[in-house]
Amino acid sequence: MFLVRALRFLYGILVAILFAVSLILVVPIYFALFSLLPEKKAPHIAHKISRVWAKTLYILFLIRVKIKGKELIDEKKTYVFIANHLSQLDIPAYVIACNNTIRFLAKIELTKIPLMGYVIHKLYLSVDRSSKEARSQSMLNMRRSIEEGISVFICPEGTRNRTREPLLDFKDGAFRLAIEAQVPLAVLTITDSQKLLSPLRPVELAPGTIHAIWDKPIETVGMTEADLPALKEKARALMLKHLV
């Protein structure tokens, strides 16, 4: 057991170094992209770059993502995407699994990370969860993104699941957004990422396979605020069937 953990730790350190080097190489590309391209075009090209970056990282990390149900997602449509969150490996898996241009909703603290903070600031929508005013503004920003034809990606648990439960309680935001914008809610379930990199041991990494499973999107046309609890429970049930 000690030897396995030691090997995973060393592998995790190697992967962290590879990630840091890749970040140094890719940030100038994003900088040039957002400096030179029109504002409406840049996010779409940036998502393509992010997908190439994520796929390259996973090849280097000896991690494979097996995607099921991707034919259920229309690349020409705008959605509110949601997914469970088990590990730091999940975000590249989300990007690989999603062909649609997306903007993640991220904690504002992440924008303060050197280099990575720049990428997050340009590609994501950030929110200060301690401020009611900031949360309201983030909802407006997400609505604006959807009106621009760029989907929003939210983890409704709000953080990584560090418990033994398959899912944490869901926040209302993603479901309220889908209803207010009257766009489909697309549910992605990630499995096995925590086996490769546990949220409780964030350096001990192992190669392997992550599964990303899409379910048929839930239409929200005609729904109102009163339908929010039922929509949330339906999405939760879709994830749970793959997790338990």
pLDDT tens readout for residues 182-227: 999 999 999 999 999 998 888 999 999 999 999 999 999 999 999 9
Q: What is the pTM of this model?
A: 0.93
Cα distance between residue 226 and residue 219, in whole Å: 15
Buried b (16+ CB within 10 A) or exposed e, 136-165: eebbebbeebbeeebbbbbbbbbebbeeee
Within 13 Å of residue 21, how many CA atoms lie on the same side as its CB?
Answer: 9
Q: Cα dist. 216→166, 184, 190, 223, 243 in Å?
A: 21, 10, 15, 17, 17
- How far separated are the first and last CA of the chain, in Å rounded? 27
Q: Which residues pair with 125 in a beta bridge?
A: 105
Q: Cα dist. 54→64, 75, 159 in Å?
A: 11, 19, 21
What domains sit in the chain, N to C, each tagged with a CATH number?
2-243 (3.40.1130.10)
Q: Cα dist. 231→22, 228, 239 in Å?
A: 39, 5, 13
Map residue 91 onto helix, strand or coil: helix
Residue 130 — pLDDT band, cuts 50, 70, 90? low
Mean pLDDT within 133-160:
90
